[in-house]
Structure 1
Amino acid sequence: MCLGDDPTCAAFAEHRLRYRRDMEPERRAFLKSTFAATGGAAAMLAGGTTLVSPALAQASAAKSAAKGAGQTAHYLLPANADTVHWGYFSKSLKPQVEIDSGDFVTIETLTHHANDDAERMVKGDPGAESVFLWTKEKKGVARRGAGPDDAKLGPGGGLGVHICTGPVAIRGAEPGDVLEVRILDVAPRPSANPQFKGLAFGSNAAAWWGYHYKDLLTGDRPREVVTIYEIDATGRRDWARAAYSFRWPGVTDPNGVEHPTIDYPGLPVDHAKTTRNFEVLKGIRLPIRPHFGTMGLAPAEAEMVNSIPPSYTGGNIDNWRIGKGATMYYPVAVPGALFSVGDPHASQGDSELCGTAIECSLTGTFQFILHKKADLAGTSLESLDFPMIETAEDWVLSGFSYPNYLRDLGPDAQSAIFEKSSIDLAMRDAFRKMRQFLMHAQGLTEDEAISLMSIAVDFGITQVVDGNWGVHAIVKKAIFAERPA
């Protein structure tokens, strides 16, 4: 009998939704007992060390209770053509769900690279099929980016590529507040094709925007190569392996437009025109660390914002540490905060050097905690004006070439950012943010902070492919274990 796990069943879609509804009470009870009753994700943090002090946590919880939100709710937000926005953030998007502080949302996300192998990542999956639908007559999602509607390549012109599910609006969120987002669970989206039951797949495109592209040594130069990876969707295997690779063949899309390079999101690859190399990366196991490359809030500075460059409200940070067990803190810029998530990755290294990670559809479960501006005075979050990552062991600060490029680069910011980024600028921003954090949150003098940074803070290259390049700074919580609170 189909329990929502047999795509060959004639009523697969109905059974899948019924299964999710049936699981909802159990899932909600599990989350409440495991996380809410123990103080949420803070219980997962080593020694209870977290940026949210007990006083701030109590103040935030009290405000939720005062609004009648004492009983948390758990929502499901599926990914389909009606629930995603493709390639942009916008303060004007209608929320897909509105929640109270403390509520949980399970959110499905789709990789924008699924059409690199539609047989494995789209076929038989109603949500993915609705999003990737593209014929001469219709696109399931017409707008794919923040560019003009009349762009040659299609609406958006490919100026923004990530499929984002949402937004989620948080009642009472206002500019100046801080939104805490706890990532409680992350799981791969299984292939719905019965030929690949129990497996999930992802795509890694060594593309024209990669750091390597004009520095190749061998073969035809330049070239774009796509590698498809296989993941165990059951969770029994914590590593991926390469299935095959192929040279980008050039694509003529259903509207007759030619794409010699990967220049527009969701292009359907015709594998009758590719030569697959099934011997790629033989005998190599790639550890998986599922995370969300693009996750954040709507910025205030522009009506429609390209999803590629990250900024002060988050977005396409592409840091593999934004996975299960991590907590994100974001400054709220618009009413409702408007949280969206996408660009799911099965794994990625620091730098995302060739342009992409293992782009693999994932489902995440999140809890949202709103901290009001009035309660932030004197806390570690008081002056937070950038996205910050907290894990069980580390605090991770995100530095960018331009901390708020939409503000810093003027009316042409969304094009200028791709010409002005540098590692030097991103490193300078990461240094300044870590200095501020150590002085403000940990009470160090500037001289103490500088010494500590040089000997105990690790600076790493987050990514060099997203327009607004990134450097992260990591400090271990353990080094403050004996410091008075």
Structure 2
Amino acid sequence: MCQACDYTIHGAQHHFGWDNAIPPTETVAPGATILFHCRDSSAGQLGPASTVADIETLDFGQINPVSGPIYVDGARPGDVLKITLESFKPRVEDGKGWGWTANIPGFGLLADQFPDPALNIWTYDADSLAPALWGSTGRVPLKPFAGTIGVAPAEPGPHSIVPPRRVGGNLDIRDLAAGTVLYLPVEVDGALFSVGDTHAAQGDGEVCGTAIESPMDVVITLDLVKDQPLKMPRFTTPGPVTRHLDTKGYEVTTGVGPDLMSGARDAVAGMVDLLTAEHGMSAVEAYMLVSTCGDLRISEIVDMPNWVVSFYFPRSVFE
């Protein structure tokens, strides 16, 4: 239990998609601190005992549940909701934190190259958050965060949970971790805040479409900022955001050309090829692994007509 929390939102108090007509689970005053019991992004369809066969039967209508919504008293359109991410605590199964990473057919940056389902189940120490074991030699550093976090849009719903929006949603920004303060524009009375899709680790880009999808208890403080209009989400981190991966340097592949999406695909495909050659894993295993800990970066976007996208894979995973 969170002794400093004013409210608890239980796992059953969740919804799918964004809709400003969904009744709030709680009405809170600005400054309230809330504990959210967030389910994994499959809403319990996958678990520690799941197999790849379960990927083929996933109900996409039950993907990315978000806990809430929370009505913040006094929030009005034009205000800004200040969201302080206080802490993330993995929920345990048989004494261990757990999560899953999957290749879901038709989903992900290289979906056309990986048409078959694949699944990796992770276990890790929920207290120490020591790197999670990949196979017999790989270790992926953990950094829990909320993949989906947002407020209700002004447009009548329902709206899909999958794409991100100017009011937040499925942002999948790995730096929305403990200590970060996120600011979102309010479009409806009460803001109607929700959070979910918690991850134990993810690389920038989440290239295969999934991270280490892991249920978590999340503590958040909600406050209001008046008279400072905001067009898009912004956030402030409490310190460095890459140091946990920098210890051994990186292997880097690139994509060069006139289209950023094509460049991103080429950079990721190049890393998949490199890891399969150097570490003897299958291509789909490499694809899922890089989604949890590799970073896509735009390295150059001014020297027309070609741009450079780079994919950074931390050598610390295998060294």
Counterpart of 1:387 in structure 2 is 233
The structure showing larger relative contact order (alpha-carbon pairs under 8 Å, at least 6 residues apart) is 2
Residue of structure 1 equivalent to 2:109: 211
What letter is aligned with 2:35?
T
Offset at 1:158? 2.9
Shift of the 173–309 alpha-carbon distance from structure 1 to 2, 3 Å rule, reads same
The count of aligned residue pairs is 242
The answer to whether 1:315 aligns with 2:169 is: yes
Flag the structure with higher helix content.
1
- Which aligned pairs between 1:418-429 and structure 2 lie closer than 5 A? 423=260
> Partner of 2:83 in structure 1?
181
| Partner residue in 1 for 2:196 | 342
1:203-259 deviation digits (Å, cap 9, x = unpaired): 10112201122225xxxxx311011111212x12421124xxxxxxxxxxxxxxxxx
Report Cα offsets for 1:417-465 as digits up to 9, x if no partner. xxxxx857xx9xxxxxxxxxxxxxxxxxxxxxxxxxxxxxx9947xxxx
- Work out the CA distance in 2 between the residues paired with 1:187 and 1:117: 17
TM-score normalised by the chain length of structure 2:
0.70
Gap runs ≥5 in structure 1: 1-19, 29-72, 121-152, 217-221, 243-280, 377-381, 396-421, 428-457, 462-470, 472-485
Q: Whose Rg is larger?
A: 1
Structure 2 matches for 1:158-197, cutoff 5 A?
158=60, 161-191=63-93, 196-197=94-95
Partner of 1:100: 29
Task: Give the aligned residue type for 1:215.
Answer: Q
Query: Alpha-carbon deviations, 1:309-359, whole Å to 9, x = none?
Result: 001000000011011011100000110000000111000001111110010
State the 1:96 CA deviation. Answer: 0.7
Q: What SS does the corresponding residue of 1:116 show, helix, strand or coil?
A: coil
SS in structure 2 of the partner of residue 105 of structure 1: strand
Higher share in strand: 2
Task: Assess, with a 3 A threshold, how the Cα gap between structure 1 residues 323 and 335 changes in structure 2: closer, same or farther.
Answer: same
Residues 387 and 175 from structure 1, CA distance in 2 versus in 1: closer, same or farther, beyond 3 angstroms?
same
The one of 236, 240, 245 aligned to 2:132: 240
Q: Is the 8 A contact 1:183 1:366 kept in 2?
A: yes
Assess, with a 3 A threshold, how the Cα gap between structure 1 residues 423 and 329 changes in structure 2: closer, same or farther. Answer: farther
Whether contact under 8 Å (2:91, 2:216) holds in the other structure is yes
Preserved contact between residue 160 and residue 306 of structure 1 (Cα < 8 Å): no
Q: In 2 relative to 1, CA 423–313 (structure 1 residues): closer, same or farther, beyond 3 Å?
A: farther
The correspondence for 1:227, drawn from 111, 120, 123, is 120
8 Å CA contact 1:295–1:315 kept in 2: the answer is: yes
Please list, as runs of the form range in 1=range in 2, the aligned pairs for 1:43-54 lying within 5 A after superposition: none
Q: Aligned residues: percent identity? A: 30
Shift in Å, 1:308:
0.3
Q: Does 1:294 align with 2:148?
A: yes
Any stretches of 5+ residues in structure 2 without a counterpart?
Answer: 51-56, 242-258, 265-294, 299-308, 310-319
Please state how far the C-alpha of 1:119 moved relative to its aligned partner. Answer: 4.3
Kindly provide the amino acid, as one letter, of the partner of residue 7 in structure 2: Y
Contact 2:205–2:296, Cα closer than 8 Å, also in 1: no
Matching of residues 319-398 of structure 1 within 5 Å? 319-373=173-227, 376=228, 382=229, 384-393=230-239
Instruction: Please name the residue that 1:115 is paired with.
Output: 45
